[in-house]
Structure formats: structure tokens, C-alpha cells
Amino acid sequence: MNVYLKYSIVMREIMAKVFIYPTTSLILSDMVERLGHIPLGSALSVRDTVQQGGVEGIDSPPLNMTPDDAKRGLKWAAVEVPPGVRGRMSLLGPLIAEAEAAIIMDEPLAFGCMGCARTNELATFLLKEADIPVLELNYPQTDDEGFAFVMAIKEFLKGLEGGEQKAGDGNE
Amino acid sequence: MLQDKLKEGIRDGPEYAGTVTKYVFIESNHTTPDDLALHAYELAAPVMIKETCFGLQVTGDPADVEAVIARIREVDPSHIFVKDRGFPPGDARRCRANMGGARPGYFGHEAEAGVLRYVSYGLQRMYHGDSLSPSELEIIHPKERVELSNERLLEIFNRDA
């Protein structure tokens, strides 16, 4: 069988949607996907915004803000909250609402202006308030911590309903 | 199909609507982005592959991209990391070919790249079948934050007063 055909018929099973924080994390996004689940990161929201019609005139990525975004953010932040936070929440809020679990890095590498910082605080608060399983981790700084990091995520994801190993253990 | 979209050239609507773009990062002593690109091209899948200094960007229909990613991962499972990207490659709003100067962004990737080797080590041991006891897992969990007690707060006030 053609190799391409062989892989194109690999269908994904029903998996858990796992919100990752930092929302742009390469490591978390890869680990969640590698272990058979769907990572919910900001790239998904940005992709939707970029690909939807009617935003061709927007030329200030990565924000891609429109007045409607700030209005949509009112669902998660009060009207006196700066539009920078509300606009960002219009990207993260739907993902948080959709999430079935979350992995949050402590002392994350997420940084930026005050809009980003406040949005990060609000996002982590909403995740911890939501009735979903949350795993909090540190970034590994040694080999042993790296192994513990991988195994902690693996055990956490294994506990989610409908999860299954995609990459497979011991297949090498 | 992506090929049809490419043939259409410049269009009025958003570029590559309905496609997904994935970053493939390689952090290995044995595999280069060039190796990955060759493996990706071998599939002859209808996707757009861009080779970069850190790995690849793969753009196409979701099922096609997933097939390519699955093949690429087999090359060096512990050292290849994949994530989604919002913009397609070469987007005029992000590509430095149009903007000039250094490309904004990648700071998070740069910061996380420093700890990728530890994660790779952990993945290798996981694939090897090693396991950890729950107590050994604790080293990676954040320590409980101790709240400031009222007495301690008063002590600080009185000291600084």
C-alpha cells in the first residue's frame, strides 16, 4: 500500500480537548497531540480569525482586532476592563468554554504587555474556576524532571475519558 | 484541494481558507530539517512544505497534514515537536519578506527550546517503557504557595513603620 494512503486512513478517535497554558506552548501542544488528544491553543483562534471572511482589511496581527472582538470579550470581562484584555479574551474565551481539561505551566514563559499579562491571569483563573481537571506543572530543568514532566502529562491524559495512546509506548 | 487553491493565484478572500498549518520543530543531533523535508516529500501528499532553520511548516487540508506529520514523527519521535500555526506561511501580514527586519514572535519558541532536551530525554524513557512512582512525579508539580499570615503581615508593617 502506498505510504501516503496508509497514513491518510488513520482516523482520529474521539479525544479530549485540552486547553494549554501558555496558549502558544510548543511543548504542551506537542505532548497533548502526541498522547492522542486535541490541544486548544491560541493558534486555533487566530487561524479561524485569519481564515474567516470579512477580515481582509485587518493588518495588525497577531491581534486581528475588530470592534466586535472587544464586544465578544464582554462575556468574560466587565466593560471597564481594557479592550486589550477583552479582545484577547474573545480568542481564549471560546477555547476555555470548550475545554474538557487543562494543563497550566507554573511560572510560564508567557509574557508581554499588561494586556497579555492580565489576560493570562484571567484565563488561568477561569480555568481553575471551571469544573474541569487541571494539571499544574513546572518547566523541567533537569533530565529527571523532564521524565517526570512527560510521565505526569501522560498519567493526566490517560485519566481523561476516551483517551488513548497515539504514539504508543515501547513501540521503538 | 490545496493544489487547486494554489492554481487560482491571488484571490479576493482569505488565503488557504479551510487549510491547517503546522510547525514541525526538530531538536536533534542526528536529524536535520533537510532530512524531514525529504521524508515529507516522499509521501507526495498535496500539501505545501516549507523548510526552515528549525524544521518545517506544513500547510494543507487537515487529513493530508496529519498524514504527513504522522510520517515525519516516525523519523525521530523523541526529538520532533509539532504545534499549530494560525497564519499560513508567507502571509503578507507576518512574513518578513514583506515587512523587512526581524520577524516578530518566536520568543516563546526560543524560550521553550532551552528545555526541549529534557522533554526529549523524558520521551525517550517513556518510549523505552520506564515508569515513575507517584511520589517521584511530585518533583515536577509546583510547590504549594504559603499564604501570608496576618501575624507576619503585621510584623512586616511594624518593622517598616
ipTM of the complex: 0.82
- The minimum CA-CA distance between A5 and chain B, rounded to whole Å, is 8
Q: B42 vs A3: CB contact, 8 Å cut-off? A: yes
At B8, the pLDDT band (50, 70, 90 cuts) reads low
Q: How close B154 comes to chain A (CA, Å)?
A: 28
The answer to whether A4 contacts B12, with C-beta atoms less than 8 Å apart, is no
- Comparing alpha-carbon positions, the chain B residue that sits nearest to A168 is B127
Which strand (E) or helix (H) includes residue B134?
Answer: helix B134-137
Contacts with A136 from chain B: Cβ below 8 Å: 141-142
**Torsion A71-A76-A79-A84 (CA) sign:** negative
Q: Tens of pLDDT along A117-134?
A: 889 999 999 999 999 999
Laid out side by side, the sheet with A134-137 consists of A38-40, A17-21, A101-105, A134-137
Taking a C-beta distance cutoff of 8 angstroms, is the pair B84, A47 a contact?
Answer: yes
* Average pLDDT score over chain A: 80
Which residues of chain A have a CB within 8 Å of the CB of B73?
A: 34, 167
pLDDT of residue B65: 94
Per-residue pLDDT at A170: 38
A166 pLDDT band, cuts 50/70/90, is very low
Per-residue pLDDT tens for A18-61? 999 999 899 999 999 999 899 999 999 888 888 775 555 555 54
B22 band by pLDDT with thresholds 50, 70 and 90: very high
- CB of B55 within 8 Å of any CB in chain A? no
pLDDT computed for residue A31 by the predictor? 95
Q: Do B12 and A56 touch (CB under 8 A)?
A: yes
CB of B25 within 8 Å of a chain A CB? The answer is yes
pLDDT level of residue A68 (50, 70, 90 thresholds): confident
User: Rounded mean pLDDT of B129-150?
Assistant: 83
Instruction: Indicate the pTM of the whole model.
Output: 0.83
Determine whether B90 is exposed, middle or buried from the number of CB atoms within 10 Å of its CB (0-12, 13-18, 19+). middle
Among A151, A165, A172, the residue to mutate for chain B (most B Cβ within 10 A): A151
Residue B145: per-residue pLDDT: 75
pLDDT of residue A8: 38
Question: What's the helix, strand, coil split of chain B in %, to 5?
Answer: 45, 15, 40
Record: contact B13-A27, CB cut-off 8 A: no
Q: Nearest Cβ partner of B83 from A29, A53, A62? A: A29
Cβ contacts (< 8 Å) between B108 and chain A: which residues? 22, 24-26, 109-110
In this structure, the number of other CB atoms found within 10 A of the CB of residue B141 comes to: 15
More confident residue, A167 or A25: A25
Decide which of B122 and A12 is more confident: B122
Q: What digits encode the pLDDT tens for the residues B34-65?
A: 999 999 999 899 999 999 989 999 999 999 99
Give the residue from B67, B63, B37 showing the smallest Cα distance to B50: B37
